[in-house]
Structure 1
Amino acid sequence: MSPVFENNDLTIQSIRCEEIKYFPPMYHKHAELYYVVEGEMDFFVDKGRLTLKKGDLCLLFPYILHSITKQKAIVEIVLFDPFVLKGFADILQTKKPNNPHVLSEQVPPIVPLLIQKIRENYSSSSDSAKELSNAYLIATIGEILKVIELEDVSYHSISTTQRILVYCSNHYKEDISIEQISSELHVSKNHISHIFTTVLHSNFRDYINHLRIMDAKELLTKTDKSIIEIMLECGYMNQSTFNRVFHKLCGVTPSAYRNLNKN
């Protein structure tokens, strides 16, 4: 399963993921929790890199630039709107971890079980199970906050990189271009290209394609929409281009991917 977390109406999403080939840099209003069950994974967070090993976790507060650069692990992932945390919501909005990486020996023993309970109840269709999922999440974050140091943060001084990512996140399904971003954000085209190359380790078109194909994968496995409908919804106007990009990133055609992964 691909961790596609771009639904602005989302409150909680919880999955158990066994493979992420590449997860492009993201910058959004949701918080994310990663817990490594087996193996290890590499993170890019803000301006640094982290390696999470078995039993480690990473708690990312909202509006923290991050990506997954390598994963050979089974990982529990929870993405959530901070406002479901009630009393902890203000903390996630005004502070951030000094270090989001919590080593296995520092992880409270109850946390892995709580994370499992979040996913089990999130997967249920009943309203009571959804409420339980929220309750388990609140308990999980409460336990984690006991073992991490926090620092104040201001979101008023957003960086150029973050402004570019926000713009891409809002417009990647459109006919977006570097020229358009340059005009809208008043940043030179050369500087935008430089940021993609040196900070995001990608080029602009590959980054947009990754965002689109992540959406396409989710739609192929979660809906009965036709491939043409999915192609158009994800921002492609030409089916041969869609098929070529999808095959390049996923190793199979869209129809084959659907047949292999449809629940």
Structure 2
Amino acid sequence: MYPFFEANKSGDQNFFSSKILENFSFPPHLHPYVEIAYVIEGSIEVTINDTQRCLKAGEVSICFPNDIHTFNSDGFSNIILFIFSPDLTRSFFGIRMDKTLENPFMSKNIVDDGISPLLYMLHDEYKSVNNKYVIKGLLYTILGKLDSHFTFKKSSTFYNSTMQNLLKYIEIHYHEKISLDSIAKDLGFSKFYLSRIFSNKIGYQFNDYINRLRINKAQKLLSETDLPVTVIALECGFESQRNFNRIFKELTALTPTKFRTGI
């Protein structure tokens, strides 16, 4: 389960998360943190701003704060996903906060040059002792080794501000009764213009995109709380448990109850 909502809501300057995710997909989104994905096995298609690549085992993607990014696994993939506040490595990101990467993907030969063992060490440290000084030290070392391969550009040249505002709005209001009409009214755009953004830029129909965010949140609540399924359905924006169950199974191949008992 992707820690998308933790990254958007925490506001923690020391936020750090590391998860191993299998066959991971997530629609276009953004958050104020840094994200590094390392492919352990298989392959995964990653899009960051306007750049897309199919990452294979041993390769890495690096997403800077507020970059719009997407993950899509058509086949098998197994990745480690790190998400962390840029404040953890303030000396590195302090002068780069208005930047993004021209090429946010690192090939296997670059990662094999002493970086991949550090990524495994970072994940193991988080899952075991979780010493913040060790984590900071490993992050600085990883970024330092990658820095010579980075080419920076102004972030404003790489993403569409309208799309940013749209995604941020949805991340705040996804659990409410929203529609293209209501979003268009609140953001001051036409419904048809926003519809074209979803079709041409985001790559999902509006309802499909909203449902994917809601189901991700539902997975978090199912795994971390004892709330009844009916309450979770309502909290995630579904008007009925029947509709919730149907969409949950469509997107995960499991019922909410089976997902919870299988964790």
TM-score (norm 1): 0.90
Q: Is 1:53 aligned to 2:56, yes or no? A: yes
Aligned partner of 1:83 among 78, 83, 87: 87
Query: Where does structure 1 lack aligned partners over 5 or more consecutive residues?
Result: none
Cα offset, 1:238, TM superposition: 1.3
Aligned partner of 1:43 among 36, 41, 46: 46
Q: Tell me, in whole angstroms, the C-alpha distance in 2 between the residues paired with 1:86 and 1:161.
A: 27
Give the direction of change, closer, same or farther, for the CA distance of 1:217–1:138 in structure 2 (3 Å limit): same
Amino acid at match of 2:46: F
Amino acid at match of 1:54: A
Q: Tell me, in whole angstroms, the C-alpha distance in 2 between the residues paired with 1:6 and 1:134.
A: 23
- Verify the 8 A CA contact 1:38 1:54 in the aligned structure 2: yes
Q: Tell me, in whole angstroms, the C-alpha distance in 1 between the residues paired with 2:95 and 2:101.
A: 10
Q: In percent, how many aligned pairs have the same letter?
A: 30
RMSD between superposed Cα atoms in Å: 2.0
- Verify the 8 A CA contact 1:231 1:242 in the aligned structure 2: yes
Residue 114 (structure 2) aligns with = 110
Cα offset, 1:226, TM superposition: 2.1
- What does residue range 90-129 of structure 1 map to in structure 2 within 5 Å? 90-107=94-111, 109-124=113-128, 129=131
Aligned partner of 2:78 among 62, 74, 80: 74
Number of equivalent positions: 257
- Verify the 8 A CA contact 2:58 2:112 in the aligned structure 1: no
- Verify the 8 A CA contact 1:107 1:147 in the aligned structure 2: no
- Verify the 8 A CA contact 2:23 2:73 in the aligned structure 1: no
Give the direction of change, closer, same or farther, for the CA distance of 1:226–1:92 in structure 2 (3 Å limit): farther
Query: Where does structure 2 lack aligned partners over 5 or more consecutive residues?
Result: none
Residue 34 (structure 1) aligns with = 37
- Verify the 8 A CA contact 1:95 1:152 in the aligned structure 2: yes
Residue 168 (structure 1) aligns with = 170
Residue 238 (structure 1) aligns with = 240
Residue 3 (structure 1) aligns with = 2
1:129-184 Cα distance to aligned partner (Å, 9 max, x none): 233223222221222122221223348x8521221111111111111111111011
Q: Is 1:25 aligned to 2:28, yes or no? A: yes
1:48-81 Cα distance to aligned partner (Å, 9 max, x none): 3211111111111111111012252221110111
Amino acid at match of 2:248: F
- What does residue range 188-203 of structure 1 map to in structure 2 within 5 Å? 188-203=190-205
- Verify the 8 A CA contact 2:29 2:69 in the aligned structure 1: yes
Q: Tell me, in whole angstroms, the C-alpha distance in 1 between the residues paired with 2:111 and 2:72.
A: 23
Q: Tell me, in whole angstroms, the C-alpha distance in 2 between the residues paired with 1:224 and 1:112.
A: 37
1:21-71 Cα distance to aligned partner (Å, 9 max, x none): x31101221111011122211112212321111111111111111101225
- What does residue range 206-225 of structure 1 map to in structure 2 within 5 Å? 206-225=208-227
Q: Tell me, in whole angstroms, the C-alpha distance in 2 between the residues paired with 1:121 and 1:54.
A: 22
Aligned partner of 1:13 among 11, 17, 36: 17
Q: Tell me, in whole angstroms, the C-alpha distance in 2 between the residues paired with 1:92 and 1:254.
A: 42
Amino acid at match of 1:29: P
Q: Tell me, in whole angstroms, the C-alpha distance in 2 between the residues paired with 1:162 and 1:173.
A: 19
SS in 2 for 1:214: helix
Q: Tell me, in whole angstroms, the C-alpha distance in 2 between the residues paired with 1:147 and 1:190.
A: 41
TM-score (norm 2): 0.90
Q: Tell me, in whole angstroms, the C-alpha distance in 2 between the residues paired with 1:68 and 1:160.
A: 21
SS in 2 for 1:59: strand
Is 234-243 or 133-142 further displaced after alignment? 133-142
